[in-house]
Amino acid sequence: MNAFSIRLPENLMKEADAGAKVLHVPRSEYVRLAIRRMNRDVAAEERRKRLQRVSERVRDESMLICAEFDALEYPRGKAG
């Protein structure tokens, strides 16, 4: 396992200590859990953005296809 040093503002350190106490884990485990959660949240947000971009492209293509079908079904200038 790798180690690193980090400097935190006093209030953030107190919050981490309080959270660790609530979960009955050492501070280092609390920080590991927080980093895992943040990594998971960042990955989920990136997935959401990718899906949104793909969905927008599919939506645009779908609208073009629908317009083509409309043109075939309801040609302009012809009474239906």
pLDDT mean over 8-27:
97
pLDDT mean over 61-78:
84
Are 70 and 80 spatial neighbours (Cβ–Cβ below 8 Å)?
Answer: no
Predicted structure pTM score: 0.66
Phi and psi, residue 75, nearest 5°: -65, 145
pLDDT at 58: 85
pLDDT at 61: 83
pLDDT at 77: 65
Q: How confident is the model at residue 63 (pLDDT cuts 50, 70, 90)?
A: confident
